[in-house]
Structure 1
Amino acid sequence: MPIRTNRGRAAVYRKLWGWPLRSPRHLAVAAFVAALLITAAGILIPKLAGTDTPRASGTSTQTSETKVFGSRTVVVPPGAGGTATATETRVEPTLTPSSAPPAPEALGVAKEWATAFVTHPEGISPETWREQLRPFTDVEYMVALDSVDPRNVFATAVTGEPRVVVSYDKSVVIDVPTDKAVLRLTLIETEQGWRVSDYTEGEG
């Protein structure tokens, strides 16, 4: 039968609160139940709040592993084991000088190019001067020569034979002396033969 009055409810509450004090046994049972409730609350509340994050038994730091495969360097992420599926960085192979001397054609082309370079009589147009260089120049490098004005070339004659600085399988660096400066030419082997792909001027 439901309790309908405040006096009745108060009497029930007094019985509940007074029950643990009736005997040591009741007190022990009440303390045990209270301990169970507190423990259960401590477990359930963090889970309901979403803060129960599992913790690792120890602290460990994982780093990426770099593996080299031939001419490729591959970065392997942590936990990927031996499978290299991450970022790939290409490493260009280092050029090794060849023990063989450069082709005689390369020396001839270097001297022809240097001769055309220092030939710029007064009044010659930049276009005409560049056309003198075209037969001995790599096609792509002709674009760079568009910015060169023959009036700024002070050498007027080749004064010595070409000298090899370093030789590779498909390229060679050659110095050609002039009356004003040493022309250091880089030549590459193309389908059309050896062609100049770069030049710098040093002290004569």
Structure 2
Amino acid sequence: MPIRTNRGRAAVYRRLWGFPLRSPRHLAGTIVFLAILVTALGIVLPKVMGKPATATPGAPAATSSAAPTTGVAAPVPSTETLPTRLSSPLLTPTSAPPSPEAVNVAKQWATAWVNHPAGISNADWLNGMRALTTDEFLPVMSTVDPANIPATRVTGEPTVQSSFTSSVKVIVPTDGPKLSITVVNTGAGWRVSDYDQAS
């Protein structure tokens, strides 16, 4: 069995590989050093190796006459520009007479919104509005504490503030603030997608 001494190549290798395991401080220092080394190599190597040449826009593609012909035609770059995603201006919503169903949904939703007896949980309160609310707006409503709602009843008939083919904004008066309720046509019926305090 060979005797290990403090001399020789093997001893040097043992000291190098054993350095990170001597203490937690050595291990942390080695990890930091390796992270810096990898980052530096990731920055320096692409610069040293050189990036592949990129063709400038509008410049003709370089062709090589020495390239072997394989019988397959090379793709010819198209010179026509592709249309941008928004090639035409956005269409403004088309106004339309208010849908009685949308106004009715807004009134039912407001009636459920003000219905929060003392001690009601958010889940029970939300169940009263679930069928009248869009799926996207339900998570927002789940963050509302019913105890903080300053209204207890609807005090009048809803009035339409604006009406389009796919959405209607309705003002509903309560004994607290007036509600500005946005109702949208989801394809499965009219549903509330937003509400705010009316000015």
Shorter-chain TM-score: what band? 0.5 to 0.7
Name the structure 2 match of 1:120.
Answer: 116
State yes or no: 1:94 paired with 2:53.
no
Distance 1:184 1:78, change over 3 A: farther
Gaps of 5+ in 2: 1-56, 60-78
Name the structure 1 match of 2:144.
Answer: 148
Name the structure 2 match of 1:187.
Answer: 183
Distance 1:133 1:84, change over 3 A: same
Aligned counterpart in structure 2 of residue 84 of structure 1, from 78, 81, 85: 81
Runs of 4+ in 1 over 6 A off after TM superposition: none
Name the structure 2 match of 1:15.
Answer: none
Find the structure with the greater CA-based Rg. 1
TM-score normalized with structure 2 length: 0.57
TM-score normalized with structure 1 length: 0.55
Q: Displacement, 1:92?
A: 6.4
Over the residues paired in the alignment, what is the CA RMSD in angstroms? 2.4
Of the two structures, which has the highest relative contact order with CA contacts closer than 8 Å and spacing of 6 or more?
A: 2
* Structure 1 counterpart SS, 2:136: helix
Counterpart code for 1:122: A
Please state which structure has a larger fraction of its residues in strand. Answer: 1
State yes or no: 1:174 paired with 2:170.
yes
* Structure 2 counterpart SS, 1:155: coil
Aligned length: 125
Q: Distance in 2 between matches of 1:182 and 1:89?
A: 40
Gaps of 5+ in 1: 1-76
State yes or no: 1:133 paired with 2:116.
no
Please state which structure has a larger fraction of its residues in helix. Answer: 1
Q: Distance in 2 between matches of 1:84 and 1:202?
A: 47
State yes or no: 1:104 paired with 2:100.
yes
